[in-house]
Amino acid sequence: MLTAILIMSGLALVIGVILGFAAIQFKAEENPLVDKIDAILPQTQCGQCGFPGCRPYAEAISRGEADINRCPPGGDEGIHRLADLLGMDAKPLGDGQAQAKAKSVAVIDEQRCIGCTLCLQACPVDAIVGAAKQMHTVIAKQCTGCELCVAPCPVECITMEALTEDITQWKWTYPRYDIKNSALSTDR
Amino acid sequence: MENYALILVGTVLVNNIVLTKMLGLCPFMGVSKKLETAFGMGAATTFVLTLAAGASSLINEYLLGADYAYLRTLSFIVVIAGIVQFTEMFIRKTSPVLYQVLGIYLPLITTNCAVLGIALLNVQAQHTFLESLFFGLGGAIGFSLALVIFAAMRERLEAADVPAYFKGSPIAMINAGLLSLAFMGFSGLVK
């Protein structure tokens, strides 16, 4: 019995070492920028940027095919960090994206929920709790407002509700000083 | 030498792993829609299968022996998974073009039952290391051959006038059966 365990763990160890060594030895030179961009993206894989997931979006950014302002879950902060990384100007969430939509969370109408678990499977951040034939509910804190759960619901009991700013979630905004316009006004 | 040639011919044609032994049917049905992908899958499987057959033969002979025969399936699966991973890394580094072609098929090979099947059949037949290697290579070539033939047939089927109820998978299944029957004709080849 003990020998069997030893044999298997020995085998696994040897293969693990070989694979680990190979991972270093055969490290493919991928664009390191993609990894950096990917690390900034929120990894919700929500697809609101128009790409199938965060990684493809990161690749598109690194190739210069996509703008940095297409990620609503990342929000303003994400755009700023991307802008810092790429040495670009930060710009508001844009062009056909959830246009500066007020941050919202999904709310399930618990009277109508039939417990089909479809929204559970759709949620990229596991912010919905529930079980089959049990009522589901959204953990507002976890919800990124990606709206992916709205479409799968067969009884249309999920609505997006805008979060009103209150003391619990208010944050400092980035300082925005309108240099261009103020320069113009001093010129006059 | 004659022995090895016999093993090769035997596994490629007479005891074709897919069409006679009915192993590895999943990729056989799954990636045979296009000839191009069939070639890719065939090449990747050939590489992995040959390596896996050799490695598992060594493990069975020197590590497990008769005492720990019950660890065969477990250890073979571990080795196969390791080899697939290693192959993926190796190809990714050495030939990005090949990686582009094979990329998605490589991980699939881990769950290809033909790979484990060949390893276990090797043990059953008490092959030596070299024999195992040839058995693996033959099995892999047989797999690729069946896959490529079948893919070519399915490409033709796309253009054929198939009754509506038989379109798609049903007619492919019937074709696989016919191909299997055709390969039975090789059974008299090696006495």
Render each residue's pLDDT in chain A as its tens digit; 188 residues.
Answer: 888 899 899 999 999 999 998 888 877 666 678 888 888 888 877 777 877 778 888 888 888 888 888 888 787 888 888 888 888 877 777 654 544 456 778 888 888 888 888 888 888 888 898 888 888 888 888 888 888 888 888 888 888 888 776 777 667 777 766 666 666 665 54
State whether A58 and A110 are in the same domain. Answer: no
In this structure, the strands spanning A158-162 and A104-108 are: antiparallel
Tell me the chain A residues in contact with residue B86 when contact means C-beta distances shorter than 8 Å: 18-19, 22
**For residue A132, what are the domain limits?**
102-170
φ, ψ dihedrals at A21, nearest 5°: -65, -45
Please name the member of A7, A23, A27 whose beta carbon is closest to the beta carbon of B63.
Answer: A7
State whether A125 and A67 are in the same domain. Answer: no
**Best interface-test mutation with A: which of B51, B78, B98 has the largest number of A CBs within 10 A?**
B78
pLDDT at B146: 93
Whether residue B99 has pLDDT greater than 70? yes
DSSP secondary structure code for residue A157 in this structure: -
Tell me the chain B residues in contact with residue A5 when contact means C-beta distances shorter than 8 Å: none
Would A21 be classed as within a structural domain? no
d(CA B55, CA B123): 12
pLDDT at A100: 47
Tell me the chain B residues in contact with residue A30 when contact means C-beta distances shorter than 8 Å: none
d(CA B145, CA B110): 20
**Best interface-test mutation with A: which of B71, B76, B99 has the largest number of A CBs within 10 A?**
B71
Which residue type, as a one-letter code, is found at position B113?
C
Q: Residues in chain B whose beta carbon is closer than 8 A to a beta carbon of chain A? A: 59, 63-64, 67-68, 70-71, 74-75, 78-79, 82, 85-86, 89-90, 92-94, 96
Please name the member of B68, B79, B86 whose beta carbon is closest to the beta carbon of A4.
Answer: B68
For residues A2 and A31, the answer to whether their CB atoms sit within 8 Å is no
Q: Which residues of B44-83 are buried (b: 16+ CB within 10 A; e: fewer)?
A: bbbbbbbbbbbbbbebbeeebeeebeebbeebbbbbbbbb
- What is the SS3 assignment for A79? helix
Mean pLDDT in residue range B167-190? 88
- Give the residue from A86, A119, A153 where a domain finishes: A86
State whether A166 and A111 are in the same domain. Answer: yes
**Confidence band for B149, pLDDT divided at 50, 70 and 90:** very high
A8 with B75: Cβ contact below 8 A: yes
Would A82 be classed as within a structural domain? yes
Q: What Cα–Cα distance (Å) separates residue B32 from each residue in A144, B144, B151, B153? A: 41, 10, 4, 9
pLDDT at B136: 93
Please name the member of A3, A8, A25 whose beta carbon is closest to the beta carbon of B74.
Answer: A8
Would A127 be classed as within a structural domain? yes
State whether A116 and A150 are in the same domain. Answer: yes
State whether A123 and A155 are in the same domain. Answer: yes
Would A5 be classed as within a structural domain? no
DSSP secondary structure code for residue A159 in this structure: E
Q: What Cα–Cα distance (Å) separates residue B177 from each residue in A43, B80, B165, B168, B174? A: 46, 29, 18, 15, 5
Mean residue pLDDT across chain B:
86
User: For residue B119, which of B70, B80, B62 has the smallest C-alpha distance?
Assistant: B80
pLDDT at A98: 47
For B42-87, write each residue's pLDDT tens digit. 888 898 899 999 999 999 888 888 888 888 889 999 999 998 888 8
State whether A118 and A62 are in the same domain. Answer: no
Tokens matching residue A22: 């190979």
Q: Identify the residue with better confidence: B172 or A182.
A: B172
Would A13 be classed as within a structural domain? no
State whether A77 and A107 are in the same domain. Answer: no
Tell me the chain B residues in contact with residue A8 when contact means C-beta distances shorter than 8 Å: 71, 74-75, 78
Q: What Cα–Cα distance (Å) separates residue B36 from each residue in B18, B43, B52, B152? A: 19, 11, 24, 10
Would A3 be classed as within a structural domain? no
User: What's the predicted TM-score (pTM) here?
Assistant: 0.59
pLDDT at A71: 83
Distance from CA of B85 to the nearest CA of A (A): 7
At A126, which CATH number?
3.30.70.20
pLDDT at A187: 53
Interface check for A162 against chain B (CB to CB < 8 A): the answer is: no
Would A159 be classed as within a structural domain? yes
Number of domains in chain A: 2
Q: What Cα–Cα distance (Å) separates residue A71 from each residue in A51, A143, A176, B94, B158? A: 10, 15, 20, 35, 41
- Stretch (H or E) spanning A76: helix A75-86
Whether residue B137 has pLDDT greater than 90? yes
Whether residue B178 has pLDDT greater than 70? yes
Q: What Cα–Cα distance (Å) separates residue B20 from each residue in A13, B10, B36, B147, B184? A: 37, 11, 24, 13, 7
For residues A154 and A118, the answer to whether their CB atoms sit within 8 Å is yes
A26 with B93: Cβ contact below 8 A: yes
Whether residue B144 has pLDDT greater than 90? yes
State whether A113 and A53 are in the same domain. Answer: no
pLDDT at A184: 61
**Total Cβ atoms within 10 A of residue B102:** 24
User: For residue B146, which of B5, B8, B25 has the smallest C-alpha distance?
Assistant: B25
Q: How many CA atoms lie within 13 A of B181 on its CB side?
A: 6
pLDDT at B133: 92
Would A15 be classed as within a structural domain? no
Q: Residues B91, B97, A49, CA angle at the centre, nearest 5°?
A: 105
At A64, which CATH number?
1.10.15.40
- Stretch (H or E) spanning A160: strand A158-162
Tell me the chain A residues in contact with residue B74 when contact means C-beta distances shorter than 8 Å: 8
Tokens matching residue B57: 């033969």
Q: How many CA atoms lie within 13 A of A15 on its CB side?
A: 23
d(CA A168, CA B56): 60
